Copies of this chain bind each other. A is one copy, B any other.
Amino acid sequence: MTRTKKNPSQVISIVDVAKASGVSITTVSRVINKIGTVKEFNRVKVAKAIRDLKFQPSVFAQRLATGKSNVVALVIPRYEGVFYSFYALELIRGVGTMCEVLKLDLLLHITDARTPLSLRGVGGVIFSDIIGNRAQLEDALAKNMPCVVVNYYVNDLDVSCIAIDNAGGAENAVNYLVELGHRKIAHITGDITTQPAAKRLEGYRRALEKNGIKVREDYIFQTDYSRGAARSAAEKLFKSPDPASAVFVASDAMALEVMAVARELGKNIPDDLSIVGFDDNPSGLYGPVGLTTVRQPLIKMAEESVKELNRLIGLNKKSSKKILLPAEMVIRESCKPH
Whether A64 pairs with B67 at a CB distance below 8 angstroms is no
> Given the complex of chains A and B, what is the CA–CA distance between A66 and B260 in angstroms?
59
> Given the complex of chains A and B, what is the CA–CA distance between A227 and B111 in angstroms?
32
Contacts of A227 in B (CB 8 A): 283, 286
Q: Per-residue 0/1 for A255-299: is the Cβ within 8 Å of any B Cβ (1 yes, 0 no)? A: 001001001100000000000000000010111100000000000
Q: Per-residue 0/1 for A116-132: is the Cβ within 8 Å of any B Cβ (1 yes, 0 no)? A: 00101100000000000
Whether B260 pairs with A60 at a CB distance below 8 angstroms is no
Whether A60 pairs with B121 at a CB distance below 8 angstroms is yes
Which of B59, B96, B110 makes the CB contact (< 8 A) with A120?
B59
> Given the complex of chains A and B, what is the CA–CA distance between A179 and B9 in angstroms?
61
Q: Per-residue 0/1 for A1-21: is the Cβ within 8 Å of any B Cβ (1 yes, 0 no)? A: 000000001010000000000
A238 → chain B, closest Cβ, in Å?
Answer: 15
Closest B residue to A66 using CB positions:
B60
Contacts of A59 in B (CB 8 A): 120-121
- Which size class do A's interface residues fall under? 35 or more
Closest B residue to A9 using CB positions:
B67
Whether A111 pairs with B118 at a CB distance below 8 angstroms is no
Whether A110 pairs with B88 at a CB distance below 8 angstroms is no
Closest B residue to A227 using CB positions:
B286
Whether B121 pairs with A97 at a CB distance below 8 angstroms is no
Assuming A97-B110, A107-B106, A110-B93, is B58 touching A64 (CB within 8 A)? yes
In the complex, whether A249 has a CB less than 8 A from a CB of chain B is no
In the complex, whether A167 has a CB less than 8 A from a CB of chain B is no
Whether B121 pairs with A111 at a CB distance below 8 angstroms is no
In the complex, whether A92 has a CB less than 8 A from a CB of chain B is yes
Whether A110 pairs with B100 at a CB distance below 8 angstroms is yes
Contacts of A228 in B (CB 8 A): 285-286
Closest B residue to A283 using CB positions:
B227
Contacts of A108 in B (CB 8 A): 74, 92, 96, 106-108
Whether A56 pairs with B89 at a CB distance below 8 angstroms is no
Assuming A93-B83, A108-B96, is B231 touching A260 (CB within 8 A)? no
In the complex, whether A61 has a CB less than 8 A from a CB of chain B is yes
Which of B64, B86, B286 makes the CB contact (< 8 A) with A64?
B64
> Given the complex of chains A and B, what is the CA–CA distance between A286 and B260 in angstroms?
11
In the complex, whether A202 has a CB less than 8 A from a CB of chain B is no
8 A Cβ contacts from A86-118 to B? 86, 88-89, 92-93, 96-97, 100, 105-111, 118
> Given the complex of chains A and B, what is the CA–CA distance between A231 and B57 in angstroms?
52
Which of B64, B92, B263, B283 makes the CB contact (< 8 A) with A61?
B64
In the complex, whether A78 has a CB less than 8 A from a CB of chain B is yes
Contacts of A120 in B (CB 8 A): 56-59
8 A Cβ contacts from A278-327 to B? 283, 285-288
8 residue pairs from A and B, CB less than 8 Å apart: A59-B120, A86-B86, A89-B92, A92-B92, A93-B110, A96-B109, A107-B107, A260-B263
